[in-house]
Amino acid sequence: MAAQIEKASSQHAGIGSLHTLGVLCGVTAGVWLGAAEAPTKLVNAGFSPFAISLCMVAGVFTARWSFPTLLKGTTYVFADLMSRKHLLVWAILAGALWAVANTLTVFAIRDVGLAIAFPMWNTNALVGLFWGRVLFRELDGADRKTITKVVVGSLCIVAAAIMLGFSTVHGSTSPNGHNPLGGVLAAIGASLMWGTMYVPYRKAYLSGMNPLSFVTVFTVGELLTMFILTWTLDGGRHSSVFQLVHGGQFLFWLFLGGFVWVIGDMFQQFAAKYLGIGRGIPLSNTNQLWGLAWGALVFDELATADAKHKLLVVAGSAVMILGAVFISTAKASDAEHSSRNEALERECDRYGLDYNEVLMAQSGEEFGHRSEGRRWWDYAIILAAVGVFIRLGAKATVPPLAMNFKWVAVLVVLLLVSLIGCGYRLHKQTGFS
């Protein structure tokens, strides 16, 4: 077994380091996660945040099952899940936290706008860093330079959040007539929920589970929680979600938003696996830059802002990106890797897992030649997902929002380039493992 692990390590060294792969995954995640929230601008068309979030989660559910099926097959996914049954409840809990956080982001977008809300909830990097240190002993064994990067990066994130919050609440009301303070609180709440959500993720990867397997159960928690929230807090049968579903012309865009988010989240989870939540999540939070690009360039959100407002937004965004760069470039030392292996050992002892198998999985190397063959129902799942998007797309109309379509085209090209480049590297180096 030791020889197998050594061989796997040497193969990875020839292709590229796992740290570099994790960084690429984090950057790609930022590009896609930044685009995913743009369809929630539909909240300005009169639908409740609950209705918007539920329909988006339905799109997430559709994509969550089709992507793992396409890349690995259901036989692989269910074998992986059944070998680590203790993680099923953690996956459902993570999905529930995501559903609550996503709903809060829609309130935040409604009240303060996409360009402002994005950097506010990206303080989840700080929350994730805290849990990574307390629960998983990340940074144990790190040298002074690495710790300094992490601390300075954390302070930058906090400073940026204060700057962006001040830029939003210095006026009495928002342009949409809502209370901007409520939007700030919603964004902060989303930050807390999302930062805590990464605890189950980290437990999964320390147990050797493939991210593609974990998210298939994760999405069950998402959908159930979102349905309960909508039914209990948004009028039950009188919720505007039924109007949204019945009309159908906007549903495609929300499903598309969920689809885009799943792609970004897939890369984010591989970044968290190979870098840890203390490094991977801040790096994926460069989605703040892309969210700002969509809000300012496509939806022209900053057109009427005064010079002071724009300066605070730009400076806050720059400081937050700087903080994420500091944290994500703090490469783990040999002593930190030893500490991580001790964490692996604790998880294996707690749940009766094979340490060597889990260690190989952490290096992106599959153990035991698990089958990735496709069955007839795998193709049925993929065709059903494609059919849903085709049906919704046939009824879709362009949302009644002012958009700059030239910038839409530019940003879509960047999405595709990042997907193809990083997807190829991930497949070549780990086989999506």
Instruction: Retrieve residue 26's tokens.
Output: 């984090």
d(C-alpha 388, C-alpha 61), whole Å: 12
Check if the beta carbon of residue 89 is closer than 8 Å to that of residue 218.
no
Check if the beta carbon of residue 55 is closer than 8 Å to that of residue 259.
no
pTM of the model: 0.81
- Is residue 188 predicted with pLDDT exceeding 50? yes
Q: What is the mean pLDDT of residues 112-135?
A: 79
Q: What are phi and psi of 49, to 5 degrees?
A: -60, -35
d(C-alpha 32, C-alpha 241), whole Å: 26
- Residue 85 is classified by DSSP as G
d(C-alpha 210, C-alpha 372), whole Å: 13
- Is residue 257 predicted with pLDDT exceeding 70? yes
- pLDDT value of residue 165: 62
- Is residue 418 predicted with pLDDT exceeding 90? yes
d(C-alpha 387, C-alpha 50), whole Å: 25
Work out the pLDDT band at 172, boundaries 50, 70, 90: very low
In this structure, which amino acid lies at residue 363?
A: S
Check if the beta carbon of residue 302 is closer than 8 Å to that of residue 105.
no
d(C-alpha 309, C-alpha 170), whole Å: 9
Three-state DSSP state, 363? coil
Among 90, 337, 331, 123, smallest CA distance to 201 is for 90
Q: Per-residue b/e over 250-276, b at no fewer than 16 CB within 10 Å?
A: bbbbbbbbbbbbbbbbbbbbbbbbbbb
Domain ranges across the chain: 2-430
- pLDDT value of residue 178: 60
- pLDDT value of residue 295: 80
Q: Which range, of 219-223, 266-270, 310-314, averages the lowest pLDDT? A: 310-314
d(C-alpha 136, C-alpha 200), whole Å: 11
Among 96, 101, 94, 125, smallest CA distance to 37 is for 101
d(C-alpha 186, C-alpha 180), whole Å: 10
Work out the pLDDT band at 289, boundaries 50, 70, 90: confident
- pLDDT value of residue 120: 78
Q: What is the mean pLDDT of residues 47-61?
A: 82
Check if the beta carbon of residue 137 is closer than 8 Å to that of residue 344.
no
d(C-alpha 279, C-alpha 257), whole Å: 26
Q: What is the mean pLDDT of residues 146-160?
A: 82
d(C-alpha 388, C-alpha 394), whole Å: 10
